[in-house]
Structure 1
Amino acid sequence: MAITNEAVRKGLRAGLFGCVMTCSVPAVQAATAPGFDVGSANVAVADPSVPRPPGKACTVELFNGFTFRDFSNHPYTYAPPVGCGKSWSKVVLEADFSVTAGRQFDRTASLWLAGANIYFGTTQEPSATVSPSWHVERDVSDFASVLGQPQTGQAILGNIVDGTYTGIISGSARLVFYPANVLAPKVDAPDAVFPLSDGTGGGTVALNTGNDVLSRTLTLPTNVERAYLDVFAQGQGGDEFWYSCVPDALADEAQSCGGGSYREVQVSIDGQQAGVAPVYPWIFTGGIDPYMWRPTPGVQALNFLPYRVDLTPFAALLNDGKPHALAIGVTGANGNFSVTGNLFVYLDRGRKVLTGAVTSNTLQGQAAVASIDNQLTEAAGVVSGSIATRASRSFRVAGYVDTSRGRISTDVNQTVTFRNTQSFTIDPAHYQQGIDQLATVDSTTKTRQGPLGFTVTTQAHFDYPLLASFGYTFDTEGNIVTAPSAVTQGFSRQFSKKLGNLVLYRSDVDNSIDTADTLAFTNGAVTGHSGQRSTQQFRASDNLGSCYGRDVSTTMGVLTTATDGGDCPQGRNRLLWFTHPDGSPDTSRTEDPGIF
């Protein structure tokens, strides 16, 4: 049998779906959440909008009606809002996109301002009869230092429009400013932002091997008190399905992509290991089987969340007035990882130069290496068994700076784990691959400030689970007949902040989707599909009374139910304006020992 699993996926991604008619089913009667239309084939997600503070807002348009037909960048200009002052409680990026009906791939989209990334995600694929539109929001209050001055920016959304690929993508974006007031005080935003981009006004950098890095040499202010790096690492090209790959030596036997499945972001300062970030297995809306993601895409597919690496223990090193190389690499990269980052720093306004030291770094010298347990066997023309990949590391980084408010010591302890088990059954009539993957982070940060030594402890736990199965059946000539697929994907974060034993803040976020579909083929071409269904469930809560629950279900490409209030008191959603219910990084409410 000459056909391979990788070849099947490449064929599916090559645009076999634009001519397949989208089926419809009668709308299911249900108590529908506001803003949803049961029976619609348009995009429907359970994700919460960004909560807004009280008061009148000001809106600044970044661009309106951009059309993306090629791979040229689309520049725009920005000026601070008029009539909203320079003190804001929150700033929200809003963007709207649409694509005309027809054939088109999913495309990566990113927005940039002053070289810094303010949005990163992908687009929804259209069909021959459905032209989807979608809305994304992001809290960009951390960029307040950039937003106080006129800037230039650009939208990057490469697309091909020709006789074959006909979908035209359009977009608009704006920033919404909420002036600080008595009920919504000024956000505790970083004092400066340093982008890690391609250096041309904004753009990601492609890492094609595990040795490649995105490196930028920065000379920072000499009074950095806290520092955080937000990291994005998105697999593209040969790395789009990285979670389904096996070691090179087993690729032929498993009829799968090589390079292995272990991926992890490494952050370094001047070559010294400084932090680690897990890689989220984002699945694009054309991935595996596009019908699975219509009308509800995978977790975060349209709006990626970065992972925030705490570099505060290295503040004393960064404060020496010398240039330092800050670098991002991806262990296991084997094709193309699209990478970018933003370094956020908080400064001591009472002292121009801070001294201190890095007191511990057990991450330095730890190799990012996975173990492989190969249980594949071949007998009588049948390949079966599993390949298990495991990696785990625990480390401590610690340091202090002497500030105008006394010595601040930061001690970060983390355990990062990765496991991926792939099962295979391959014979002349079937190809079945199953994936059971989980990346986790357990992080505890203790911050001690001042002569009395009050200690604030923050703890965070992240889970990135992925369960997937891809099946192919073949006729006696080796042609694909059916291709059933199923995916269960999630993102969860549990966070707490304590002063001694007193819990100051606790929050939980859980976002998951379960979806499946079966493609039908005739003579190598997709002729239909059956059994499409999906359910997305989003839950968010905290100890201050915030609660959000939404459930969205689809069948055969249309929305069947969308209900609010799941697991919330009285079945009602309630989100306090300063919370981050999507699970995005939230420095102002988490790490600063001097505020709640």
Structure 2
Amino acid sequence: MAFIDGVSRKKLRMGLLGCVAACAAQGVLAATAPGFDPGSANVAVADPVVPRPPGKSCVVELFNGFTFTDFSNHPYTYAPPAGCGKTWSKVVLEADFSVTAGRQFDRTASLWLGGANIYFGTTQEPSSTVAPSWHVERDVSDFASLLGNPQTGQAILGNVVNDTYTGVISGSARLVFYPANILAPKADAPDAVYPLSDGTDGGTVTLNTGADVLTRTLTLPTNIERAYLDVFAQGQGGDEFWYSCVPDEVADEAQSCGGGSYREVQVAIDGQPAGVAPVYPWIFTGGIDPYMWRPTPGVQTLNFLPYRVDITPFAALLNDGQPHALSIGVTGANGYFSATGNLFVYLDRGRTALSGAVTVNTLKGQPAIATVDNTLTDVSGVVGGAVATHASRSFRTSGYVDTSHGRIVTDVTQTVAFRNTQTFAIDATRYEQAIDQLSTVDSTTKTRQGRSGLAVTTEAHYDFPLLASFKYSFDEAGNIVSAPSAVTQGFSRQFSKKVGSLLLYRSDVDNSIDTADTLAFSGGAVTGHSGQRSSQVFRFKDNLGSCYGRDISTSAGLLTAATDGGGCPGNRNRLLWFTHPDGSPDTSRTEDPGIF
């Protein structure tokens, strides 16, 4: 197949980014990571599992042996565990998935309970000889109010199985409960959770444009002290590779997707801006070059982390007994983002109604606007230069509520920044694109109770770096010959909590992967690949003695090394049971301004 004009080459490149897979067939751990066998082609990730508290656990099976061969939803029922008490120190979701050997796309998977999302991620792609299996875990202690009552739920994992796409995906999931005890007291979980999903059974909502929003109108309790909104925004369709897109006016020149590269989640209450969240550039296992992600997928690919937005400054507004519309939108969405969220609230047990006010909201009137510097040139069919996109803004939200234990003032200040620079070199024999992107968040929350109370200050810094390069070479007839690609992707989070000037807790999470591969083509079809290699490094440390490190290396689609304890004393991992070493949101222990 020949690709001569720019439009057809653009279609080829975008097809390669997404569809090559279909075209090509608590404890102390030893230094060597357990459960990993060098030479294995099965999924191997450096991510930690959820640390567990001491004591006996109870298991409630959600489903077992579900097979996903079409786009029907798979319902299940849940009942609280018998003989496991009414209070728990921790609740963990465990899920196992597998796909048979053959040809299959990556698929999106989500689990729902009482309409609330309890898991969101994508699947590993198989090969003709490898039937991968993988395990995911998530701390779901924040859903304790939901888990105290019987619920209905469903697993959503759309898949196609036919003569071409043969991989059958199977899965099972369960909840593991740890009853509270003297060594592991009851989690200070939210008093209620309100799903922002597509209906009572749960499901994501499609946001095709920046004007689209996921909105749910809720009449909430009138005694809310604290409120948090966990949000997910997953790029799909034309937005799967949103970080590679350029403004519409240069999309044909750059042979790239349009709509620009700036994406950011907007949270609003009754249309009033209330918070923002960065969008993580998740890369699915069929993305860019599927061989890069075998056997180690990208950061969070199999198990997305939500971003938590603190909307406590708006508690007084939510407490007025009137219905309020909470909404999630994605700036720059261009067909499309899959979005959902969960609102968690903490209530005042001493009063049924709280008064207060929202005192500051400088986010109001601050639109999300990006600046684009375009130096792209096109001289006689030779394209070169760069497209650089920048956005940054700082804002403050503040409010108070008068509670049974005094006035609580919450002040949130945040700076969010985004930059994306793409360089191009395009002529008759090559297409080269390099992406350098970074999203950052600096957030400080100060909480003061009573006039003389010491301020509790929590600070968090996030970095979402992405480096990617795609190089496609063409012969004289315009046929693609080879396609070397490389990706470096990361997630880092630094968190601290102080009372006055006294540091109570600090944690640092860093998760990064570096991977590369080169595809070979003949006649427009993939004929093989070479040079596959990847490495994932995961680090977690806190000031209470927790430390976790795991390093994974792969080559030619096989695991070559997996070692534990990197960066830890004695090269040994040790995790306190209440920590969140994966970097997921946590208000039930270390991050709650009112405890610890």
Q: What TM-score range do you get, normalising by the shorter chain?
A: over 0.9
What is the letter of the counterpart of residue 508 of structure 1? D
Q: Does 1:10 align with 2:38?
A: no
Structure 1 residue runs without a partner (length 5+)? 21-29
What is the letter of the counterpart of residue 435 of structure 2? I
CA distance in 2, matches of 1:480, 1:90: 53
Cα drift, residue 19 of structure 1: 5.0
Taking the TM superposition and a 5 Å limit, the aligned residue runs for 1:199-238 are 199-238=199-238
CA distance in 2, matches of 1:393, 1:38: 47
What is the letter of the counterpart of residue 487 of structure 1? V
Checking the alignment, whether the CA contact within 8 Å between 2:23 and 2:526 is kept in structure 1 is no
Deviates more, 1:216-225 or 1:581-590: 581-590
Q: Does 1:124 align with 2:124?
A: yes
Q: Secondary structure at the match of 1:127?
A: coil
Q: Secondary structure at the match of 1:4?
A: helix
Checking the alignment, whether the CA contact within 8 Å between 2:579 and 2:590 is kept in structure 1 is no
Cα drift, residue 83 of structure 1: 1.1
Taking the TM superposition and a 5 Å limit, the aligned residue runs for 1:265-284 are 265-284=265-284
Q: Does 1:258 align with 2:263?
A: no
CA distance in 2, matches of 1:4, 1:247: 18
Relative to 1, partners in 2 of residues 1:424 and 1:594: Cα closer, same or farther, differing over 3 Å? Answer: same
Q: Secondary structure at the match of 1:143?
A: helix
Cα drift, residue 8 of structure 1: 2.4
TM-score with structure 1 setting the length: 0.97
Taking the TM superposition and a 5 Å limit, the aligned residue runs for 1:75-86 are 75-86=75-86
Q: Secondary structure at the match of 1:9?
A: helix
CA distance in 2, matches of 1:141, 1:48: 17
Q: Does 1:556 align with 2:556?
A: yes
Cα drift, residue 15 of structure 1: 5.3
Aligned counterpart, 1:23:
none
Deviates more, 1:10-19 or 1:177-186: 10-19
Taking the TM superposition and a 5 Å limit, the aligned residue runs for 1:27-426 are 32-426=32-426
Checking the alignment, whether the CA contact within 8 Å between 1:53 and 1:577 is kept in structure 2 is yes
CA distance in 2, matches of 1:407, 1:4: 62
CA distance in 1, matches of 2:247, 2:23: 33
What is the letter of the counterpart of residue 14 of structure 2? R
CA distance in 1, matches of 2:11, 2:427: 16
Taking the TM superposition and a 5 Å limit, the aligned residue runs for 1:560-575 are 560-575=560-575
Deviations 1:319-367 (A, max 9, x none): 0000000000000000110000000000000000000000000000101
CA distance in 1, matches of 2:69, 2:193: 32
CA distance in 2, matches of 1:467, 1:11: 18
Q: Secondary structure at the match of 1:177?
A: strand
CA distance in 2, matches of 1:470, 1:6: 15
Cα drift, residue 377 of structure 1: 1.2
Aligned counterpart, 1:442:
442
Relative to 1, partners in 2 of residues 1:216 and 1:244: Cα closer, same or farther, differing over 3 Å? Answer: same
CA distance in 1, matches of 2:400, 2:593: 14
Checking the alignment, whether the CA contact within 8 Å between 2:21 and 2:290 is kept in structure 1 is no
CA distance in 2, matches of 1:368, 1:527: 44
Relative to 1, partners in 2 of residues 1:520 and 1:17: Cα closer, same or farther, differing over 3 Å? Answer: farther
CA distance in 2, matches of 1:50, 1:135: 12
Please, what is the CA RMSD of the aligned residues? 1.1
What is the letter of the counterpart of residue 491 of structure 1? F
Deviations 1:434-473 (A, max 9, x none): 0000000000100000232210000000000000001100
CA distance in 2, matches of 1:577, 1:6: 49
Structure 2 residue runs without a partner (length 5+)? none
What is the letter of the counterpart of residue 173 of structure 1? A
Deviations 1:257-279 (A, max 9, x none): 00000000000000000000000
Cα drift, residue 12 of structure 1: 5.6
Relative to 1, partners in 2 of residues 1:569 and 1:11: Cα closer, same or farther, differing over 3 Å? Answer: closer
CA distance in 1, matches of 2:266, 2:137: 28
What is the letter of the counterpart of residue 537 of structure 1? V
Cα drift, residue 6 of structure 1: 4.3
Q: Does 1:504 align with 2:504?
A: yes
Aligned counterpart, 2:544:
544
Deviates more, 1:580-589 or 1:167-176: 580-589
CA distance in 2, matches of 1:515, 1:126: 18
Cα drift, residue 588 of structure 1: 2.0
Cα drift, residue 10 of structure 1: 1.5
Cα drift, residue 123 of structure 1: 0.2
What is the letter of the counterpart of residue 515 of structure 2? T
Deviations 1:187-228 (A, max 9, x none): 000000000000140000000000000000000000000000
What is the letter of the counterpart of residue 7 of structure 1? L
Q: Secondary structure at the match of 1:190?
A: coil
Checking the alignment, whether the CA contact within 8 Å between 1:46 and 1:552 is kept in structure 2 is yes
CA distance in 2, matches of 1:39, 1:258: 41
Q: Secondary structure at the match of 1:326?
A: strand
CA distance in 1, matches of 2:479, 2:23: 21
Q: Secondary structure at the match of 2:574?
A: coil
What is the letter of the counterpart of residue 119 of structure 1? Y
CA distance in 1, matches of 2:142, 2:452: 30
What is the letter of the counterpart of residue 507 of structure 1? S
Cα drift, residue 31 of structure 1: 6.6
CA distance in 2, matches of 1:354, 1:430: 65
Cα drift, residue 484 of structure 1: 0.4
Checking the alignment, whether the CA contact within 8 Å between 2:10 and 2:252 is kept in structure 1 is no
Q: Secondary structure at the match of 1:36?
A: coil
Relative to 1, partners in 2 of residues 1:14 and 1:591: Cα closer, same or farther, differing over 3 Å? Answer: closer
Cα drift, residue 382 of structure 1: 1.3
Deviates more, 1:349-358 or 1:582-591: 582-591
What is the letter of the counterpart of residue 191 of structure 2? D
What is the letter of the counterpart of residue 13 of structure 1? G
Q: Secondary structure at the match of 1:589?
A: coil
Checking the alignment, whether the CA contact within 8 Å between 2:31 and 2:571 is kept in structure 1 is no
Checking the alignment, whether the CA contact within 8 Å between 1:206 and 1:336 is kept in structure 2 is yes
CA distance in 2, matches of 1:318, 1:219: 8
Cα drift, residue 7 of structure 1: 2.7
Checking the alignment, whether the CA contact within 8 Å between 1:18 and 1:128 is kept in structure 2 is no
Checking the alignment, whether the CA contact within 8 Å between 1:98 and 1:171 is kept in structure 2 is yes
Cα drift, residue 380 of structure 1: 3.9
Checking the alignment, whether the CA contact within 8 Å between 2:91 and 2:178 is kept in structure 1 is yes
Checking the alignment, whether the CA contact within 8 Å between 1:232 and 1:341 is kept in structure 2 is yes
Q: Secondary structure at the match of 1:454?
A: coil
What is the letter of the counterpart of residue 416 of structure 2? V
CA distance in 2, matches of 1:17, 1:72: 22
Deviates more, 1:5-14 or 1:556-565: 5-14
Cα drift, residue 16 of structure 1: 5.1
CA distance in 2, matches of 1:333, 1:278: 13
Relative to 1, partners in 2 of residues 1:16 and 1:64: Cα closer, same or farther, differing over 3 Å? Answer: closer
CA distance in 2, matches of 1:243, 1:277: 16
- Number of positions where the alignment pairs a residue of Structure 1 with one of Structure 2: 587
Cα drift, residue 378 of structure 1: 2.0
Checking the alignment, whether the CA contact within 8 Å between 1:548 and 1:575 is kept in structure 2 is yes
Checking the alignment, whether the CA contact within 8 Å between 1:4 and 1:256 is kept in structure 2 is no
